[in-house]
Amino acid sequence: MPEKLTAITVTNAQRKSGRYEIADSEQPGLRLIIQPSGVKSWAFRYERSDGTTKRVSLGRAAGPGALTLVQARNAANDANRQRTTGGDPADAKRAERAAQAARIKTAELEARRKDDTVEKVLARYYTDHVDGLKSGDEVKRVLNREMKSWAKRRVDDIQRRDAIKLLDTLKARAPVQSNRLRAYGRHFFGWCISKELASINPFDGTKAAKEISRDRVLTDDELRLLLRAIDRLDWPRKHFVHMLLLSAQRLTEVKEMDWRELDLTSATPMWTLPRSRSKNGRAHTVPLAPVAVSLLAGMDRLTDSTRVFAPFSESHAKLGVDAAMLDIAREDAAARSAYDPDSVMLVPWGFHDLRRTAATTMARLGVDVVIVERILGHTMRGVMAVYQRHTFDEEKRRGLTVWAGFLDGLTSERESNVVSINAGTA
C-alpha cells in the first residue's frame, strides 16, 4: 500500500534480504527503491496504453548527488505530466541518455583531435607512408612548403574552399608545382580519412593547372639589363637574385641557403646542398665562382638564424626586379631619344627562366652538356647513372666560372649596355 513518504521515512528505510519498493501516496507513480545492499533510489512507475508497466529511474535517494524527497516528487510529477500529454517517459529518458552519450562521445573526440593539426598529422603521415618512397623527400618538401599556412589548423577543419584558394595562388606563379601539391595533398587527406582524422578530402573536385612547357631564355641584352637592375635592389633581394643567376640552382634551394652548407674559405669554395634539400634526394655540390664567394662573404649574417637570406616573398622580389628593369630601359630610351619612354615594354620572364638561360648560355659558351646537367643537379639516367661516380666538381667549377665571367663581360661592354626594347602601348 502507498504511504506518505517523509524525509525521515527515506532515511530510516532499512535494507532487507530482497529488493523492495515503497510507493508514495502523495505523488502517484513515485517509488522509493531499497536494494539488498542498502542502496536507495527513486523511480517513477507507470502503465502504458498497451497495458505494460514501465519504470523510469529518477536518481539516487541517498549519498552524493541524491535527490531530496521534494526533488523526487517534482521529477515524478514532470514524468506523469509528460505521460498524460501523450509522451512516454521511458522513451524520453532513453533519448536523453542517447543524447548525453553522443555529447560525451563528441567531447571525447574533440579532446583527442585538438592536437590533430596539419603539422602534427603530416609527421605521422610521413612515418606511415612517405619515408619509404623514393620520392619521399620531394613529397615532404612540397607539402611542408605549400601547406605551411595550414600548419596549426586541424586536418578536419580544412575545407575544399581552402584547397581551391591555395591551389589558385600557387597556380598563378607555378602551375607545375600546383599540380604536384594537388596530387600529394589529395593522397595525404585520403590517408587522413582512412585514419578517421577527417571526413572529407578538400582536394577532391579541384582542377589541375594546365602545364605549359616553358622555353624562355633571356637574351644577352636582357641579362645585361637584369644585372644593372640587381644593383638597384635592396637586401636581401639584391643578393638573392644575383646568387640565383650566378649559381643556376632552383629558386627554393637558393632562397633557403644555409651558412652551414657553405665553404667560402678553402681553395675550392663550395656550396653543398644536403639530400634533404635537393630535389632528386641526393647531396648536390655547387662550386662557387670568385664573384659568388665575394657576394656571400660580404653579406651580414642574421643574428637569430643560420639562413643566409632573411625571409621574403619571391613574388615581391620579382616585382622589384621588373620595376627596376623597366625604369632602366625607359631611362635608356629617354637618353637616346629613340622611343617614347612611356611606350617601353619588357618581355615577361620568370625566375626559373634564369636557370634555363644559364644552362643554354653555358652550352653556347662551350661547356659540355653533361657538365651543364651536373651543374643543374639533374639525375643521370641509364648506364651512366649506374657506373658514373665521378663528382665532376672541377668541371662544374670551370663551367660556372665561365658563366660568371660571361655575365661580368656583359656589364663591361659599355658601348652596348643598352637593352634592345620593344616599343608599343604600355
Per-residue model confidence as pLDDT tens for the chain (426 residues)? 788 999 999 999 999 999 999 999 999 889 999 999 999 999 998 888 777 888 888 889 998 889 999 999 998 998 888 877 766 776 777 777 777 777 766 666 665 667 799 999 999 999 998 887 767 888 898 899 899 999 999 999 999 999 999 999 988 877 878 888 999 999 999 999 999 899 999 999 998 887 665 688 999 999 999 999 999 998 888 999 999 999 999 998 999 999 999 999 999 999 999 988 887 778 999 999 999 999 999 998 888 899 999 888 787 888 889 889 988 998 888 887 755 656 677 888 889 899 999 999 999 999 999 999 999 988 765 544 444 446 789 999 999 999 999 999 998 754 444 444 443 333
| 153 shares its domain with 297 | no
Cβ proximity of 238 and 231 under 8 Å: yes
Residues in the chain: 426
Q: Tell me whether residue 104 is in a domain.
A: no
Are 329 and 409 members of one domain? Answer: yes
Q: How many domains does the chain have?
A: 3
My answer on whether 250 and 382 are in the same domain is yes
Q: How far is CA 126 from CA 138, 143, 260, in A?
A: 12, 10, 26
- Is residue 1, in this structure, part of any structural domain at all? no
Contact 24, 3 (CB under 8 A): yes
Residue 109 lies in a domain: no
Among the candidates 160, 194, 228, a domain finishes at 194
Q: Tell me, what CATH number does 252's domain have? A: 1.10.443.10
| Domain assignment of residue 380, yes or no | yes
CATH of the domain at 137: 1.10.150
Q: Determine whether 228 is exposed, middle or buried from the number of CB atoms within 10 Å of its CB (0-12, 13-18, 19+).
A: buried
* Shared-domain flag, residues 266 and 393: yes
Q: What is the CATH number of the domain that holds 87?
A: 3.30.160.390
Name residue 271's beta-bridge partners.
Answer: 262, 286
Same domain, 280 and 413: yes
pLDDT of residue 173: 76
Confirm whether 202 is domain-assigned. Answer: no
Pick the last residue of a domain from 73, 91, 109: 91
297 and 381 part of one domain: yes
| pTM > 0.75 | no
User: Does residue 229 sit in the same domain as residue 190?
Assistant: no
- Residue 127 maps to a domain: yes
Of the CA atoms within 13 Å of residue 301, those in its CB half-sphere come to 10
Alpha-carbon distance values, 175 to 130, 152, 211, 320 (Å):
23, 26, 6, 22
Residue 313 lies in a domain: yes
Q: Are both 229 and 354 inside the same structural domain?
A: yes
Residue 384 lies in a domain: yes
Amino acid code (one letter) for 226: L
Residue-range definition of the domain harbouring residue 173: 118-194
Edge-to-edge strand order for the sheet containing 270-273? 262-263, 270-273, 284-287
